[in-house]
Amino acid sequence: MQTETITYDRTIINAALDYTRAAVNDAILALVDEKRAVPGAYQPLYEILADYPLRRGKSLRPTMCISTTRAAGGYGHLALTASAALELYHNAFLIHDDIEDGSESRRGKETLHALVGIPRAVNAGDATNVLAVSLLVNNLTFIGVTKALHVLHEVEHMARQAVEGQAMELDWVARNACDLGDQDYFMMCAKKTCWYSFITPMRIGFIIGSPAAQAADLSHPLESITDFGMHLGIAFQIQDDLLNLEGSLEKYGKEIGGDIYEGKRTLMLNHVLAHSKESARLQEIMARPRKDKTEEDARFVLAEMSACGSLEHGHQVARIHARKAAELFGKMDFLAAISPLRPGERWEEETVDRRFLGELVNYVVYRDL
Using the minimum distance from each CB to its own copies, give the nearer residue, 150 or 313: 150
Residue 165 or 314: the one with the smaller Cβ distance to its own copies is 165
- Per-residue binder mask for its own copies (CB under 8 A), 106-125, x = binder: -----------xxxx-xxxx
CA distance to 31, 35, 101, 136, 291, per residue, from 154 (Å): 22, 25, 26, 11, 39
| Binding status of residue 100 toward its own copies by CB under 8 A | yes
Instruction: Please pick, from the candidates 4, 5, 37, 42, the single residue that binds its own copies as defined by CB under 8 A.
Output: 42
DSSP 193-239: IIIIIIIHHHHHHHHHH-S--SGGGGHHHHHHHHHHHHHHHHHHHHH
Rounded Cα–Cα distance for residues 286 and 355 (Å) = 42
**Which range, of 26-34, 128-136, 243-251, 349-357, touches its own copies by CB under 8 A?**
128-136
Q: Which of 101, 259, 304, 359 binds its own copies (CB under 8 A)?
A: 101
- What DSSP string runs through 266-312? -HHHHHHHHH-TTHHHHHHHHHS-GGG--HHHHHHHHHHHHHTTHHH
Is residue 292 within the footprint of its own copies (CB under 8 A)? no
- Tell me if 203 contacts its own copies by CB under 8 A: no
Choice from 50, 77, 134, 300 touching its own copies (CB under 8 A) = 134
- Tell me whether residue 129 or residue 310 sits nearer to its own copies (CB atom): 129
67 or 103, CB closer to its own copies?
Answer: 103
Q: Which of 26, 33, 171, 217 binds its own copies (CB under 8 A)?
A: 171
Rounded to a whole number of angstroms, the minimum distance from the CB of residue 79 to its own copies is: 20
Q: Are strands 105-106 and 109-110 parallel, antiparallel or unpaired?
A: antiparallel
Four-residue CA torsion sign, 320, 225, 60, 257: negative
Does residue 340 belong to the site contacting its own copies (CB under 8 A)? no
Contacting its own copies (CB under 8 A), which of 191, 231, 321, 324?
191
Q: How far apart are CA 149 and CA 296, in angstroms?
A: 52
Question: Which run of H or E residues covers position 109?
Answer: strand 109-110
Specify the stretch interacting with its own copies by CB under 8 A; choose among 6-14, 164-172, 233-241, 285-293: 164-172
**How distant, in Å, are the alpha carbons of 39, 70, 72, 338 from that of 8?**
49, 21, 23, 18
Beta bridge pairs of residue 194? none
Chain residues binding its own copies by CB under 8 A are 35, 40-42, 44-45, 48, 93, 96, 99-102, 117-120, 122-127, 129-130, 133-134, 137, 140, 145, 149, 152-153, 155-156, 159-160, 163-168, 170-171, 174, 187, 190-191
